[in-house]
Structure 1
Amino acid sequence: MAVVVLRLDSLALSRSRFALSPFAETLAAVVQLARPHADPWAAPWWQRHRPAFLARLAGDGYARGLVELVAATKYLPDHLTLPPGGGMDTALESELAEVARVPDEVAVAGLRAAQERAWAGQRLDWLTGRDHGARAAELFRAVWDAHLAADWPARRAALRRDVTHRAGLLAAHGWPRALHLMNRTSAWVGADAIRFSDRPGRDRVVGPDGMLFVPVTAQRSSWLCEAPGRPFAMVYPARGTGEGGADGGHRAGDGRALARLLGGGRAQILRNLATPATTSELALQLAQSVGTVGGHLAILRDTGLVDRTRLGRRVLYHRTPLGDRLVAGPGAG
């Protein structure tokens, strides 16, 4: 069977757009917390939150079964992969309400399909009773409140930075460049199709409403969302939020050397400009005042390490090639 390919005509391309999904961010977090080992970039968050997460599951067999299934399957249940409906301002409340309204027969069919594609040992003896959509929504609300809500402003800022970066590529070079390396297996195929996955699956034809592209901070998370009468949505890992943080994985020794050279504040800003950002976005992410960040950016720009580009009403700062080389350090060639 062929790999999954999304076919778009010119109208679908022109109407495709980006969106945010707090629910997708929560689903990715559930999978992260369920796994016995953390990705290096997420280890501090995972270590803080996993004990309480596991304690909650220990008292709820249904929640434990659902979490174990989504963490061990190649096919996420349909009622957990609905395309977001609010664009860049999608609210968790609206997404939870949609999940809660999913009919039981749809939720059960999706859970059984997920179990068929899961690694060995996944059972469904916990799948009893009714109101499966509402029970999933209750679990996701609890996970959000306990493990994500406090971090959401910083996470949202990082996701918006990724969208801004890709929107700039789109304006300058078109969709193929904007979608480049969205996930580990996606690629532009010919003039009108995106290869979404290297796993077997059927082709999808994207309708005239186009597609949604939805970033999440988890670096191993990527899935396709679909629902009748709704545009497809591709969830993908955002740039600059992976191993090593937003600085793109610099070594600790290099970071200290950079701080000694530039000063701690300016070094931190330069590392975080692996993804272009505005002054206010950097200030939010680094928990500094806009004035402090603006002063550091002015010095970095005067020294040729940073430049800026206007995109609509936003002014984006980005590293110059010299800035990239300085962050990479002497061992990067």
Structure 2
Amino acid sequence: MLRIHFSAADLVRTRVETRLDPMWELVLSVHQVARPASYFGGWNRLARQRLGETGLMRDAELLATLTPARGYFPDFLTPASRATELEAGVETVLSTDKQRLRAEVSRLDGGRGAGPWLDDVAAGRPAALNRLGVAMRRYHRTVVAPHVEQASEITGRWVTGLAHRALSHGLDAVLSKLGPTTRWQAPVLEVHYPETRDLHLEGRGLTLVPTFFGVAHPISLADPELQPVLVYPVSREPFWQPGRGRDERTRTDALSELLGETRAAVLRLLDTELTTTGLAALTTTSLSSISRHTAVLRRAGLITTRRSGTRVLHLRTPMGNGLVHGR
């Protein structure tokens, strides 16, 4: 659990970023290449295909050694400059001072297949940093940049909704709408997190940054001395699938009209087993609402539900597969 402690001054200084941060999107997309959420299964397959065809899979592997999909990754990869263009963000990363590089990279467990490269990055050696910059630029150009426009459009609609809530109901309404894995009990924002931490803002305020490629839960910087940031996943369109053909888009629209957007989104996500909590996080919907939707889909014979210890797991049935894929 991450507990973020606000004072009155922090509430005044808290702000909502309106655009995606290119460095956070790069890092979190690397996580989706390594361990894709069900929602990004189609993107993962397409990304791996493009990386293989262009001979750039090694770039993704090097980035993955610096940005493990689980646990800690260095803060210097997501600088606080809030650059709106990738190149400015990459240049900020490459200009990180050697002391910080050494301190942050040393916290990693090491990467399989990284060889001495990770040590060279930690030491700030020019050749290693140049290789990092090349990997970032080529990887982003190949698998992230083709979808930036669509991701930005979806994010813009979500942030606009948050802005309207802030104007109508105040910042409390924003902090209470950051997804099912967060809970606002003034003056503390609680976030379900892999580790137990307390972050005291101490008058610095909090910057809320939307992310398209982040899915599990909001993320904060590891170093509590840095300007506080909370990167939270936006609610993505239910049927965002890169490279869809016209026939598939038609089926998608028809499924949404038949079942409703959220219920159809749940059905599409269940190509692999997911828990109720996982579905709530991926669709940014409350647990009670997801439970109602899964109950309806189960009664219709489109999904099955089973218990595994304390978890409730859902999966599409053959009938559900047929409906999703138009068979």
Give the superposition deviation at 1:178: 1.4
Residues 211 and 233 of structure 1 are in contact (CA less than 8 Å); yes or no, is this contact kept in structure 2? yes
Structure 2 length-normalised TM: 0.64
| Structure 1 residues 159 and 104: CA distance shift in structure 2, 3 A | same
Match of 2:118 in 1: 127
Q: Give the C-alpha shift of residue 23 in structure 1.
A: 1.3
Q: Secondary structure at the match of 1:82?
A: coil
- TM-superposed deviation, 1:93: 2.3
Equivalent residue letter for 1:23: M
Q: Does residue 46 of the first structure (1) align with residue 44 of the second (2)?
A: yes
**2:91 equivalent to 1:94:** no
CA contact (8 A) 1:6 1:194 kept: yes
8 Å CA contact 1:254, 1:329 repeated in 2: no
Other-structure match for 1:71: 68
Distance 2:165 2:78 in 1: 27
Partner of 2:102: 108
Which of these residues, 65, 82, 85, is aligned with residue 82 of structure 2?
85
CA deviation string 1:120-144 (max 9, x = no partner): x798754233145554333222121
Decide whether the 8 Å contact of 1:9 with 1:192 is kept in 2: yes
Change over 3 Å in CA distance of 1:147–1:254 after alignment to 2: closer
1:169-188 maps to which residues of 2 (within 5 A)?
A: 169-180=165-176, 182-183=178-179, 185-188=181-184
TM-fit CA distance, 1:253 = 7.9
Is the 2:239–2:252 contact (alpha carbons within 8 Å) kept by the matching residues of 1? no
Structure 1 length normalisation: TM-score?
Answer: 0.63
Q: Aligned residue for 1:155?
A: 151
Maintained 8 Å contact 1:222/1:234: yes
TM-fit CA distance, 1:154: 1.1
Q: Does 1:21 align with 2:25?
A: no
- Residue 226 of structure 1 deviates from its aligned partner by 6.7
How many residues are paired up? Answer: 252
Q: 2:81 and 2:156 mapped to 1: Cα distance?
A: 15
Secondary structure of 2:144's match? helix
Q: Which sections of structure 2, spanning at least 5 residues, go unmatched?
A: 242-249, 265-288, 300-327
2:107 is paired with a residue whose SS is helix
Q: What are structure 1's unaligned runs of at least 5 residues?
A: 247-251, 262-266, 275-323
- Say whether the 8 Å CA contact 1:75–1:114 is kept in structure 2: yes
Q: Report % sequence identity.
A: 21
Looking at structure 1, the residues matched to 206 and 75 of structure 2 have their Cα atoms a distance apart, in angstroms, of 18
Distance 1:67 1:75, change over 3 A: same
Aligned-partner Cα distance in 1 for 2:79–2:162: 23
